[in-house]
């Protein structure tokens, strides 16, 4: 971000009495990160947000690591991830380290019978297939195919899908997710050279207000454990809020690619940043226009990062035998580049319609047991 936003009713001065017209007070909550120094919002609840009635079972959801050290390039066939009725159970972590978990999900039904909170990580959801509504305590966001949804840690939410055919790429980041710093001025506004701007954001616009007491099940993920907690009031009882810490969305189709006379390096595609990894969007664009241009990327050595590419649509010009839903992993320590024939095929081409999400991590990734089940086992030899 950062961008200021507000919804509903708030008092004229923060940390002051906010009386109900029917008597009594609304209850203020500071929703922030990085202690009291990060981005935050002030929320006003009908009921105290601290009323825990019961703490029920806890479930270990730690990723099961199959390979913790590897230099093998891999192709994971993502659409082989099985569909699941339960939203959380459908989320399958594939590539993980201490900074993030990368995974896929294929939920067939909406999350409506309980609420969910990730207390450890910001979540980035990429909607490959499907549409619906993200419902949160700070308002709702309508989403569709191609949307990124950024959900700050600690945000209580549910998610509704319009069909049973849904495919999601998800990232759980243990570091805050921001827009790239080099695209923002010192006030935080997106600059003129940025490939997107604040007009492109999908902000929460519909504020649900439920003034209800009862038993409300919230599943809270903390330290790779899913805790089931019963709250005494409806989590969506916020009558108003303002600040900088809230869920938001952005469509990959609103990313405006930066092009040039010769091949541009991957950072021009950057969409999000953290201190531990970056996320880039490869979108349809005109190719390089130097008379001797080679549109295909040059070979490069992955020394400082592992590169993950999730293929969304189109013909990815630098790869052979790649389809929707595939994930390629190019680990640090070994060069990679266009597949045989890809460089030659790209010469003379004027545009590409490829669509993909790239995640570059600054620490090595480990592969889970679920990742190995969908590994094609031969991708590392595909440059021969």
Residues forming beta bridges with residue 281, ordered by sequence position: 357
- The mean pLDDT value for 205-214 works out to 95
Distance CA 317, CA 170 (A): 24
Look up residue 335 and give its two tokens: 């060069």
- The mean pLDDT value for 311-320 works out to 88
What are 164-205's pLDDT values in tens digits? 999 999 999 999 999 999 999 999 999 999 999 999 999 999
**Cα angle 247, 119, 357; round to 5:** 50
pLDDT of residue 117 exceeding 70: yes
Do 282 and 269 meet the contact criterion of CB atoms below 8 Å apart? yes
pLDDT of residue 36 exceeding 90: no
Q: How confident is the model at residue 35 (pLDDT cuts 50, 70, 90)?
A: confident
| Tally of residues, the chain | 384
Q: State the pLDDT at residue 378.
A: 96
Q: What percent of the chain has pLDDT over 90?
A: 92
What are 264-298's pLDDT values in tens digits? 988 999 999 999 999 999 999 999 999 999 999 99
Which pTM does this prediction carry?
0.96
Contacts of 270 (CB under 8 A, 6+ apart): 180, 278, 279, 280
Tokens 């099940």 belong to 217
Do 373 and 64 meet the contact criterion of CB atoms below 8 Å apart? no
Q: State the pLDDT at residue 316.
A: 83
Contacts of 88 (CB under 8 A, 6+ apart): 111, 116, 219, 226
Q: Which of 167, 160, 207 is nearest to 80 (CA)?
A: 167
Q: State the pLDDT at residue 371.
A: 98
Provide the greatest CA pair distance for the chain: 76
Q: Which of 226, 64, 191, 208 is nearest to 138 (CA)?
A: 208
Q: What percent of the chain has pLDDT over 70?
A: 99
Distance CA 354, CA 126 (A): 16
Strand arrangement of the beta sheet that strand 52-60 belongs to: 52-60, 225-233, 213-222, 111-118, 156-161, 132-136, 139-143
- The mean pLDDT value for 359-369 works out to 97
Mapping DSSP onto H, E and C, the string for the chain reads CCCCEEEECCCCCCCCCCECCCCCECEEEEEECCCCCCCEEEEEECCCCCCEEEEEEEEECCCCEEECCCCCCEEEEHHHCCCECCHHHHCEEEEECCCEEEEEECECCCEEEEEEEECCCEEEEEEEECCEEEEECCEEEEECCCEEEEECCCCEEEEEECCCCCEEEEEEECCCCECCHHHECCCCCECCCCCCCHHHEECCCECCCCCCEEEEEEEEEECCEEEEEEEEECCCCEEEEEECCCCEEEEHHHCCCCCCCCCCCHHHHEEEECCCEEEEEECCEECCCCCCCCCCCCCEEECCCEEEEEEEECCCCCCCCCCCCEEEEECCCEEECCCCCHHHHHCCCCEECCEEEEEEECCCCEEEHHHHHCECCCHHHCCC
- Domains in the chain (CATH in brackets) are 28-62+83-252 (2.60.120.10), 256-381 (2.60.120.10)
- The mean pLDDT value for 30-43 works out to 92
Q: How confident is the model at residue 302 (pLDDT cuts 50, 70, 90)?
A: confident
Cα atoms in the 13 Å half-sphere on the side-chain side of 344: 3
Q: Which of 88-102, 221-235, 289-303 has the lowest mean pLDDT?
A: 289-303
Contacts of 136 (CB under 8 A, 6+ apart): 151, 155, 156, 157, 158, 204, 236, 246, 247
Distance CA 324, CA 318 (A): 15
- The mean pLDDT value for 318-325 works out to 90
Q: State the pLDDT at residue 1.
A: 58
């Amino acid at each position: 971000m950062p961008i200021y936003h507000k919804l509903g009713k708030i008092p004229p001065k923060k940390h002051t009495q906010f009386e109900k017209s029917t008597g009594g007070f609304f209850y203020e909550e500071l929703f922030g990160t990085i202690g009291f120094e990060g981005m935050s919002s002030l929320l006003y609840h009908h009921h105290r947000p601290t009323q825990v009635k019961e703490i029920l079972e806890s479930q270990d959801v730690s990723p099961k690591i199959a390979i913790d050290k590897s230099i093998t390039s891999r192709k994971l066939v993502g659409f082989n991830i099985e569909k699941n009725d339960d939203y959380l159970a459908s989320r399958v972590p594939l590539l993980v380290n201490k900074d993030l978990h990368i995974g896929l999900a294929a939920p067939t039904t909406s999350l409506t019978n309980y609420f969910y909170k990730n207390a450890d990580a910001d979540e980035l959801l990429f909607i490959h297939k499907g549409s619906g509504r993200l419902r949160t305590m700070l308002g709702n966001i309508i989403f569709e195919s191609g949307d990124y949804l950024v959900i700050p840690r600690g945000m209580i939410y549910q998610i509704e899908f319009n069909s049973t055919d849904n495919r999601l790429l998800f990232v759980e980041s243990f570091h805050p997710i921001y827009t790239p710093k080099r695209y923002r001025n010192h006030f935080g506004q997106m600059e003129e050279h940025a490939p997107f701007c604040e007009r492109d954001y999908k902000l929460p616009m519909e504020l649900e207000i439920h003034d209800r007491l009862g038993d409300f099940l919230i599943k809270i993920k903390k330290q790779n454990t899913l805790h089931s907690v019963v709250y005494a009031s409806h989590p969506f009882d916020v009558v108003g809020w303002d600040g900088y810490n809230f869920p938001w969305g952005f469509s990959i189709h609103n990313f405006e690619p930066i092009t040039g006379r010769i091949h541009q390096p991957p950072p021009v595609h950057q969409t999000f940043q953290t201190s531990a990894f970056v996320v880039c969007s490869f979108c349809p664009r005109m190719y390089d226009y130097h008379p001797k241009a080679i549109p295909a990327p040059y070979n490069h050595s992955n020394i400082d990062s592992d590169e993950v590419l999730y293929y969304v649509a189109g013909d990815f010009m630098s790869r052979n035998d790649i389809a929707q839903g595939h994930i390629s992993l190019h680990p640090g320590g070994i060069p990679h580049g266009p597949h045989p024939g890809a460089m030659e095929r790209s010469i003379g081409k004027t545009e590409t319609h490829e669509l993909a999400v790239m995640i570059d991590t600054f620490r090595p990734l480990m592969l889970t047991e679920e990742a190995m089940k969908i590994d094609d086992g031969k991708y590392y030899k595909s440059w021969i």
